[in-house]
Amino acid sequence: MDAFTKLPVIDDEGYLVDPMDWNEELAEEFAHQENIELTENHWDVIRFMRAYYEEHQVAPDARFAIKHLAKRLGTTARNKLFELFPYGYVKQACRIAGMKRPRGWSTG
């Protein structure tokens, strides 16, 4: 993000307070902070998460993201999700996709 772009409100763990403030430029910034270079597979998961959020008003559990990936990747989907976001689905995928910090979940 450039110096003139104002970041939306984030909580003390770096998650958006309002997921509707999310955009793809912000995803790139959050990914950069996590040392992740977003690939098409990352964007596939992120766009799935955003669509799920828009429909259900809640972040999808990791099992839903794995099920989504399995449509393309088959049985390697679970491992792929954790390759894409090596420090955890909640810590990285949820943050990059602009979800609020899921309070009831572990950080895995």
Mean pLDDT of 7-18: 91
Among candidate residues 102, 104, 100, 69, the one with its CA nearest the CA of residue 83: 69
Q: What pLDDT score does 101 carry?
A: 81
Residue 92 maps to a domain:
yes
52 near 69, Cβ under 8 Å?
A: no
In sequence order, what are the residues at sequence separation of 6 or more whose Cβ sits closer than 8 angstroms to the Cβ of residue 79? none
What would the pLDDT profile of 31-47 be if each residue is shown by its tens digit? 999 999 999 999 999 99
CATH for 82: 1.10.10.370
Q: Is 60 helix (H, G, I), strand (E, B) or coil?
A: coil
- The total number of structural domains that make up the chain: 1
Expressed as residue numbers, the domain containing 32 is 19-96
Using the predicted structure, report yes or no on whether residue 108 has a pLDDT greater than 50. no
What would the pLDDT profile of 67-76 be if each residue is shown by its tens digit? 999 999 999 9
Q: What pLDDT score does 82 carry?
A: 94
Q: Is 0.95 topped by the overall pTM?
A: no
Other CB atoms within a 10 A radius of the CB of residue 34 amount to 16
